[in-house]
């Protein structure tokens, strides 16, 4: 706190990212949903090729090649694509550009990606929370039936974070149809691990905005690339925000690597499949150890053990250099969010859990 701070900074609660410890040997990082395998070798090759004298030049501020590659991948027009420095930045521009509607509230689940709440404080957007059902699913009727004043917009992740649970496309269609005059933002950070993408609904609904990241399924978290796809006029609005903030959010190296990654479909599919298979395996092993595991369509599972305190389990694993994510939040404070690693990673985790559980008995 300093007397030099702007007023709104005083009340701001920044998002707390999972830790990235340095210099710990033998560390098993299952806390930030990074991909266990590396990015496409073609992306790495593109990075080497892009590291040349042209770095003295500013990058393409319109990311023309990258937006064309994304458009082609999803059967869209480039005018429907917006790119940013990680999807967190894309989301920030969405909050700033679409949700600041003279004090109207943003409607979202009580349990979802916690960054949304942070952006609401940063951009002074009031929040209206719709509690998840007891089974942690999103209750569609909370978003299709009117509750008085029209919200500024709707946002949720699908699959949801940190539950990993996916919503069927029909439900998203119903939400978009019931709210034709406000943006419905679907954050699909984890969609490539088995859920259905709402991009298929853009043809029918001009109020849907779908946000993707290359950090999770394309294993490029270190490069910071995210994108949104929507109606061209929504994209135009996001470009206004971007060009009033930073015209060059993606450096030329990141743009080159992103194009190469998106074009390498075979590698992408193989790596998604590997994570999905490991998830199935890990889920079965955790259930075998007595955990309750929510049905996940993401590259993580959300699990609780009826007999062991989640924070205590996380601490015991931490002492063995295994990091998981634990949220001290009502309703979910007995759950652990566990990133799906390689089969070897999952085995090490389960072996450690067996020992911890035996010791505490
Ligand atoms: C990881 C994640 C993001 C952010 O991704 P970046 O592109 O790395 O900024 C956004 N939304 C959700 C739900 C995420 O889990």
What confidence tens digit (pLDDT) does each residue in 305-325 have? 999 999 999 999 999 999 999
CA of 76 from ligand 1 middle (Å) equals: 22
Q: Is 221 in the pocket of ligand 1 (CB under 6 A)?
A: yes
Beta strands in the chain (DSSP E): 28-29, 81-84, 106-109, 127-130, 153-157, 184-187, 208-213, 226-229, 292-293, 300-304, 322-323, 336-339
Q: Is 193 in the pocket of ligand 1 (CB under 6 A)?
A: no
Q: Are 160 and 302 in contact (CB under 8 A)?
A: no
Distance CA 272, CA 295 (A): 17
Distance CA 175, CA 7 (A): 36
Q: Which CATH number fits domain 16-38+266-360: 1.10.10.10, 3.90.1150.10, 2.30.30.30, 3.90.550.10?
A: 3.90.1150.10
Main-chain phi, psi angles of 311, to 5 degrees: -65, -40
* The pLDDT of residue 148: 83
Q: Which CATH number fits domain 41-263: 3.40.640.10, 3.10.350.10, 3.40.50.300, 1.20.1250.20?
A: 3.40.640.10
Residue located nearest, by CA, to atom 11 of ligand 1: 189
Q: Is 162 in the pocket of ligand 1 (CB under 6 A)?
A: no
Q: Say how many C-beta atoms besides its own lie within 10 A of residue 330's C-beta.
A: 8
Q: Is 113 in the pocket of ligand 1 (CB under 6 A)?
A: yes
What confidence tens digit (pLDDT) does each residue in 21-36 have? 887 889 999 999 999 9
* The pLDDT of residue 358: 81
* The pLDDT of residue 23: 79
CA of 113 from ligand 1 middle (Å) equals: 8
* The pLDDT of residue 22: 82
CA of 223 from ligand 1 middle (Å) equals: 13
Can you give the pLDDT of all 361 residues of the chain as single tens digits?
Answer: 899 999 888 888 888 888 888 878 899 999 999 999 999 999 999 999 999 999 999 999 999 999 999 999 999 999 999 999 999 999 999 999 999 999 999 999 999 999 999 999 999 999 999 999 999 999 999 999 987 899 999 999 999 999 999 999 999 999 999 999 999 999 999 999 999 999 999 999 999 999 999 999 999 999 999 999 999 999 999 999 999 999 999 999 999 999 999 999 999 999 999 999 999 999 999 999 999 999 999 999 999 999 999 999 999 999 999 999 999 999 999 999 999 999 999 999 999 999 998 877 6
Domain boundaries, the chain: 16-38+266-360, 41-263
Residues near 113 by beta carbon (within 8 Å), at least 6 away in sequence: 157, 161, 187, 189
Residue located nearest, by CA, to atom 5 of ligand 1: 87
* The pLDDT of residue 361: 62
Distance of CA 201 to the CA centre of its chain: 20
* The pLDDT of residue 25: 84
| CA dist list (Å): 313 to 69, 75, 334 | 44, 45, 10
* The pLDDT of residue 16: 82
| CA dist list (Å): 248 to 175, 241, 243 | 34, 12, 8
In terms of phi and psi (left: phi > 0; alpha: psi -120 to 50; beta: otherwise), the region of 331 is: left
Could you tell me whether strands 81-84 and 226-229 are parallel, antiparallel, or unpaired per DSSP bridges? antiparallel
In the 8-state DSSP scheme, what is residue 320? T
């Amino acid at each position: 706190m300093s007397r030099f701070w702007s007023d709104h900074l005083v009340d701001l609660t920044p998002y707390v990212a999972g830790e990235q410890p340095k210099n710990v040997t033998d560390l098993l990082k299952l806390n930030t949903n990074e991909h266990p395998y590396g990015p496409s070798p073609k992306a790495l090759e593109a990075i080497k090729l892009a590291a040349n004298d042209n770095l003295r030049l500013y990058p393409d501020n319109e990311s023309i090649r990258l937006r064309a590659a994304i458009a082609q991948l999803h059967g869209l027009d480039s005018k429907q694509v917006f790119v940013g420095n990680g999807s967190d930045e894309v989301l920030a521009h969405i909050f700033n550009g679409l949700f600041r509607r003279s004090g109207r509230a943003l409607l979202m689940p009580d349990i979802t990606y916690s960054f949304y709440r942070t952006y609401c404080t940063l951009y002074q957007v009031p929040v209206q929370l719709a509690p998840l059902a007891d089974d942690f699913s999103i209750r569609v009727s909370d978003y299709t039936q009117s509750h008085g004043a029209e919200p500024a917009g709707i946002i949720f992740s699908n699959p949801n974070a940190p539950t990993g649970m996916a919503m069927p496309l029909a439900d998203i269609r119903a939400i978009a149809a019931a709210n034709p005059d406000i943006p419905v933002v679907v954050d699909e950070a984890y969609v490539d691990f088995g859920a259905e993408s709402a991009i298929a609904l853009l043809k029918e609904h001009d109020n849907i905005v779908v946000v993707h990241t290359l950090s999770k399924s394309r294993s490029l978290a270190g490069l910071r690339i995210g994108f949104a796809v929507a109606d061209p006029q929504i994209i135009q609005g996001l470009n206004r925000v971007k060009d009033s903030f930073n015209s060059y959010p993606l450096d030329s190296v990141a743009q080159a690597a992103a194009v190469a990654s998106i074009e390498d479909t075979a590698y992408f599919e193989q790596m998604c499949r590997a994570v999905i298979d490991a998830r199935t395996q890990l889920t079965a092993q955790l259930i075998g150890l007595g955990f309750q595991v929510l049905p996940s369509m993401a590259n993580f599972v959300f699990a609780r053990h009826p007999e062991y305190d989640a924070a205590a389990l996380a601490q015991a694993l931490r002492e063995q250099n295994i990091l998981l994510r634990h949220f001290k939040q009502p309703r979910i404070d007995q759950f652990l969010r566990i990133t799906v690693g390689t089969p070897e990673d999952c085995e090490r985790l389960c072996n450690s859990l067996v020992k911890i559980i035996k010791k505490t008995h």
